[in-house]
Amino acid sequence: MLSKKHYSTIDDYISTFPKNIQDILQNLREVIKESAPDALETISYQMPAFKMKNVLVYFAANKNHIGFYPTPSPILEFKEELTNYKTSKGAIQFPIDKPIPYELVKKIVKFRVNEQNL
């Protein structure tokens, strides 16, 4: 049976990836921190997450994409801006070989912060 890695911090998680993926993950982390300065960093479901009252967003590196998990409501709210990305009910896939749309990530995170402050 394979043992599953357990991460205690986002730094711990990011450090397990190759340098190019670490850079993407670190940039994504910084954009989220800027957009939600009061959110706490945590690991949830063995993924980096930012939380206020509840989890705002999760993110994770996968073989061919960076998964960004903002819950379902922003996927609906920003569906027009997400047409170039594979999405599901609560997930967005950003291909590793294309630039991450950080401005869109900022908007989504701020949207989630506003949702939790209602």
1-33: per-residue pLDDT in tens?
444 678 999 999 999 999 999 999 999 999 999
Residue 118 maps to a domain = no
Residue 54 maps to a domain = yes
Residue 3 maps to a domain = no
H-state helical runs in the chain: 10-14, 19-35, 72-77, 102-116
Of 76, 81, 72, give the one whose Cα is nearest residue 102. Answer: 81
Residue 50 maps to a domain = yes
Residue 31 maps to a domain = yes
Question: What gap in Å lies between CA 102 and CA 32, rounded to an integer?
Answer: 9
Helix (H) or strand (E) holding 42: strand 40-44
**pLDDT value of position 117:** 85
- List the CATH number of the domain containing 68: 3.90.1150.200
Give the domain extent around 70: 10-112
- Number of structural domains (the chain) is 1
Q: Express each pLDDT in 39-97 by its tens digit.
A: 999 999 999 999 999 999 999 999 999 999 999 999 999 999 999 999 999 999 999 99
In the 8-state DSSP scheme, what is residue 114? Answer: H
